[in-house]
Amino acid sequence: MDAPAARLKLVAQHAQLRAHLERCSRLARRLLGGAAVHRELDAQLALLRIAFAEHNGTETAVVRALLQGSANWGAMLVDRMLEEHVAEHAAFWELLAGSAAVVAERMDDLVDELDAHMAAEERTFLSPAVLRNDVITDHARREPAA
């Protein structure tokens, strides 16, 4: 997969995650307001968890594959991404853990934090100015031969 295709795929997954978050948030507000939507929220949370896990795996695999030809620069970016993501994703999983009632109490924090995380990715390594074939190739070309 080339850089523009990877970017489109990952940004599309962000859009899907945002849609899942919106559905879960709406149901969480209803649950907290007294509506009997436990099952519906549980089902939507399950879909959100699946989409989040899939995105995390895809993001790591795609970025790693794109940067494999650039040992120094690529390795540094992948290492940084993984270092940042391990802590951030653990925090997201913590917010996603528990029953519908428990997660509903934390839903606003989850939505705010996950949306900010995705927006930051879209401004940095998923930016069209960064995730480009020519940028990756240029960095690989500039590295000293092993």
% of the chain beyond a pLDDT of 90: 51
* Inter-axis angle of helices 133-142 and 3-32, nearest 10: 120
**How do residues 41-63 score in pLDDT, each as one tens digit?**
999 999 999 999 999 889 888 87
Residue 25 · residue 107 · CB < 8 Å: yes
pLDDT at 42: 97
For residue 109, the number of C-alpha atoms closer than 13 Å in the C-beta half-sphere is 11
